[in-house]
Amino acid sequence: MKKIVIVYWSGSGNTETMAKSVAKGAGEGGGEVVIKPVGEATKDLVKGADALAFGCPAMGDEILEESEMEPFIASLGSAEVGGKALGLFGSYDWGDGKWMQDWVERMQGLGAKVDGTGIITQLEPSEEALSACYDLGKRLAG
Ligand SMILES: Cc1cc2nc3c(=O)[nH]c(=O)nc-3n(C[C@H](O)[C@H](O)[C@H](O)COP(=O)(O)O)c2cc1C
């Protein structure tokens, strides 16, 4: 059974809703699922995963949330994410998704096998986005 670790930050709950859909898909896909808000996650948890999903909304000016998510992502290297399937997801509002494009490239730079181009949705997740999150979870578990 694959261990799927999902780590997210969410201020108003939109990205958290996406994280829960990823978890549902991964669980129903046969994975062992660990889902944590980033404040409760550790590098070792990420290192011990077979596949990963990280979620964070667009914050600041098209960047990751700065007090918890950015330092957590900055703490990771190829030892934690290299060669692993990794799904990225998050909610945004007025931007064009640049934060996600940058995040995908950054994680690819660490050697992660990033799933597609990341799942983004405007504000409260659409049904389509939640279904994409569910499918991501299933792929990660498969
Ligand atoms: C401080 C702050 C900065 C934000 N910066 C951006 C931004 O740069 N681009 C964007 O598209 N949305 C931005 N947003 C909107 C959020 O990404 C959006 O409200 C999202 O749904 C929040 O997700 P959450 O409910 O998971 O916290 C910002 C919101 C806040 C509160």
The domain segmentation of the chain, as residue ranges, is 3-141
pLDDT value of residue 70: 98
Q: What's the whole-number mean pLDDT along residues 104-128?
A: 98
Asked whether the beta carbons of 89 and 136 are under 8 A apart, the reply is yes
* Closest CA to ligand 1's atom 18: 92
Show the tokens assigned to 130.
């939640």
pTM: 0.99
pLDDT in tens, 21-51: 999 999 999 999 999 999 999 999 999 999 9
What counts of helices (H) and strands (E) characterise the chain?
A: 6, 6
* Closest CA to ligand 1's atom 4: 59
Class of domain 3-141: alpha beta
Question: Ligand 1 pocket check: which of 59, 64, 70 to mutate, most ligand atoms within 8 Å of Cβ?
Answer: 59
3-state secondary structure of 124: coil
For residue 109, with 0-12 CB atoms within 10 Å meaning exposed, 13-18 middle and 19 or more buried, which class applies?
Answer: exposed
- Ligand 1 proximity of 102 Cβ (cutoff 6 Å): no
Q: What's the whole-number mean pLDDT along residues 113-132?
A: 98
DSSP β-ladder status, 113-114 and 85-92: parallel
- Ligand 1 proximity of 74 Cβ (cutoff 6 Å): no
- Ligand 1 proximity of 85 Cβ (cutoff 6 Å): no
pLDDT in tens, 49-102: 999 999 999 999 999 999 999 999 999 999 999 999 999 999 999 999 999 999
